[in-house]
Amino acid sequence: MKWTHCTLAGLLVVATLWPHASIAKTLVYCSEGSPENFNPQLDLTGTSYDAEQPIYNNLVEFKLGTTEIIPGLAESWDISADGLIYTFHLRKGVKFHKNHLFTPTRDFNADDVIFSFERQWKDTNPYHNVSGGTYYYFADMSFPKLLKSIEKLDDYTVQFTLTEPQAPFLSDLGMNFTSILSAEYADVLMKQGKPELIDQDPIGTGPFEFVQYQKDALIRYKKFPDFWGPKAKLDGLVFAITKDPSVRLAKLQAGECQVSSYPTPADLPAIKADPKLQLLDQPGLNIGYLAFNTLKKPFDDKRVRLAVTMAIDKQAILAAVYQGAGQPAKNLIPPTVLGFNDAIQDYPHDVAAAKKLLAEAGLPDGFETDLWAMPVQRPYNPDARRVAELIQADLAAIGVKAHIVTYEWGEYIKRVNLGEPMLAENGWTGDNGDPDNFYTELLSCAAARIGGSNASKWCNKDFDALINRAARLTDPAARAELYRQAEVIQHDEQPIYLIAHSITYVPLLKTVKGYKMSPLSRHQFDDVDLE
């Protein structure tokens, strides 16, 4: 009995003491999931990149809120006339963070650049096999094939030699997987026999230092006072991991976080109506589309593809599924990307013309087809099943009977890439804002191989020649012109039916100042301040 009394009295005393308000300026961001780890070389998800972004820098970076390349850890660079040699002049006096395992003894230099690339590239690097040793993006962006050599000319000059000219190379270097890690930290950990900690207790040069990760709960950062660029305005940054979107909104409305990730379209009216909140929006760097399998009858016939195109009511899909969070697509690339061709006129919704085209193609009574719908919500398509149902109804109007098919997501992608479906919904989210990242991945002949990411398996030599030439040029204006020409061929041949670019939203409290949306769907807090 005595014990109970003591405990109760103790609890009472403790409970009456109010929590101390935090004096430091800390922003809480409600993020949607846990990072895979803290090394962007190993990861593929935006959720992980968001968590890594505050810690690291790249040789070149994207200017906040744009896909424009600006100097990062490289102050300047020279590109040889043949586009094969990139020489980077590194910034001096850049400090690395420190933690309980490591205190840096030197500034950032060329060794860190060499280490960061060689770990992913060369199996002779002692870190190559650490933490699973799988570098998805490095492989995906064809770096093993593209890189011929990386040489240290002196402590502050690094030279990259490529096997072929590659215009998007600088944009690639702005992507998260090419973040620069500390070679000295790597050596220290290797000597301690704990190399895997480099991916869990990160050390970088970014505006925020990593403090703590409570698995699946919180990530804490603090301002790095020795940051080489403009210092962060916040003293601290916390990612509160909150998987459920309705709970994220509830937390935002209750003031438990100041910025939140990915709201659902259904919550947008409530956010707009809340006087405490502001809602930023921006066209997403993505495309949702329906691929015609051009290897299969009857979609090998352009007239059939055009008939289906004109039978589908795009506006109805946008209204019913995207609910204001999408803009109709008429190019493969969104309007913010280099080479967008605004002169293209989208095909009208015209059932009579569609029927006529089908009759011309020898199918006056229509035909049967499968229609694959993704099992998951993606940034470019909030509800693929609903989209499929709407398309199914539209196709029925011209006598085409579509059967909706779906698979588990991993299986779905595999089968689509193998060319199994006749009609398949699919989509893409850009990695670096470069048009090549859309055209080559989705419509090139190289990606049209069985198992490749060109879902329509369409391979047009003229189109391919244009996008390949564009990828080798460094002059943006000349590149843009080639992509505009390529888009005309795409539009005429219609290997895919373009549905929409989604609009991405970030809800935040009105007390948050200076937040800029990233076209690459990153959530960045470098310039953010709290009132």
Partner 1 sequence: MLKLLLGRAALLVPTFFGVTLLSFALIHLVPGDPVAVRVGEHGVPPEQLAAMRHTLGIDQPLWKQFLDYEVQVLHGNLGTSIVSQDSVWHEFITLFPATLELALSAMLFATLIGLPLGVVAAVRRGSVLDYGLMGVSVAGASMPIFWWGLILILVFSEWLGWTPVSGRIAPNFYIDGGTGFYLIDALFYSDDPGTFRSVLSHLVLPTIVLGTIPLAVIARMTRSAMLEVLGEDYIRTARAKGLSEFRVVTVHALRNALIPVITVIGLQIGALLAGAILTETIFSWPGVGYWLVQSVDRRDYPVLQGGVLLVASLVMLVNLTVDLTYGLLDPRIRR
**Residue 345 interacts with partner 1 (CB under 8 A): yes or no:** no
Is residue 512 involved in binding partner 1 (CB under 8 A)? no
What residues does 402 pair with on adjacent strands?
369
Which ranges of 83-217 would DSSP assign to H, the alpha helix?
110-121, 136-140, 143-146, 169-173, 183-192
Check residue 44 for interaction with partner 1 (CB under 8 A).
Answer: yes
Does 111 engage in binding with partner 1 (CB under 8 A)?
no
Residue 189 has, within 13 A of its CA and on its CB side, a CA count of 23
CA–CA separation, 408 and 216 (whole Å): 25
Annotate each residue in 218-237 with x if it binds partner 1 (CB under 8 A) or - if it does not, as one string: x-x-----------------
Output 79 or 405, the one with its CB closest to partner 1: 405
Q: Find the helix packing angle between 476-493 and 436-443, rounded to 10°.
A: 30
| C-alpha span between 172 and 447 (Å, rounded) | 19
Residue 114 or residue 250: which is nearer to partner 1 going by CB?
A: 250
Cβ 32 to partner 1, closest distance in Å?
Answer: 10
CB of 354 to partner 1, least distance (A): 29
Q: Which of 1, 12, 254, 477 binds partner 1 (CB under 8 A)?
A: 254
Residues 135-154 touching partner 1, rule: CB under 8 A, are 136, 139-140
Residue closer to partner 1, measured from CB, 114 or 240: 240
Instruction: Provide the H-helix boundaries in 257-383.
Output: 268-273, 302-311, 314-317, 351-360
> Which residue is it, tokens 């790249």?
58
Query: Alpha carbon 140 to chain centroid distance?
Result: 13
> Which DSSP category does 199 fall into?
G
By rule CB under 8 A, what count of residues binds partner 1?
64
End-to-end CA distance of the chain: 51
Among 99, 253, 282, 474, binds partner 1 (CB under 8 A): 253
Decide: residue 482, CB within 10 A, 0-12 exposed, 13-18 middle, 19+ buried. Answer: buried
- Tell me if 4 contacts partner 1 by CB under 8 A: no
CA distance 329 to 347: 11
**Residue whose CB is less far from partner 1, 138 or 160:** 138
Site string for partner 1, 407-436 (x = CB under 8 A): xxxxx-xx--x--------xxxx-------
* 20 contacts partner 1 (rule: CB under 8 A): yes
- For 314, the token pair is 């795009």
Please report, to the nearest 10 degrees, the dihedral formed by the alpha carbons of residues 224, 227, 232, 235 taken in order: 20
- Residue from 313, 441, 481, 529 in contact with partner 1 (CB under 8 A): 441
Residues at the contact surface with partner 1, assessed by CB under 8 A: 14-15, 17-22, 26, 28, 33-34, 36-37, 42, 44, 131-134, 136, 139-140, 196, 199-200, 212, 214-218, 220, 238, 240-244, 246-247, 250-251, 253-254, 256, 407-411, 413-414, 417, 426-429, 441, 447, 451-454
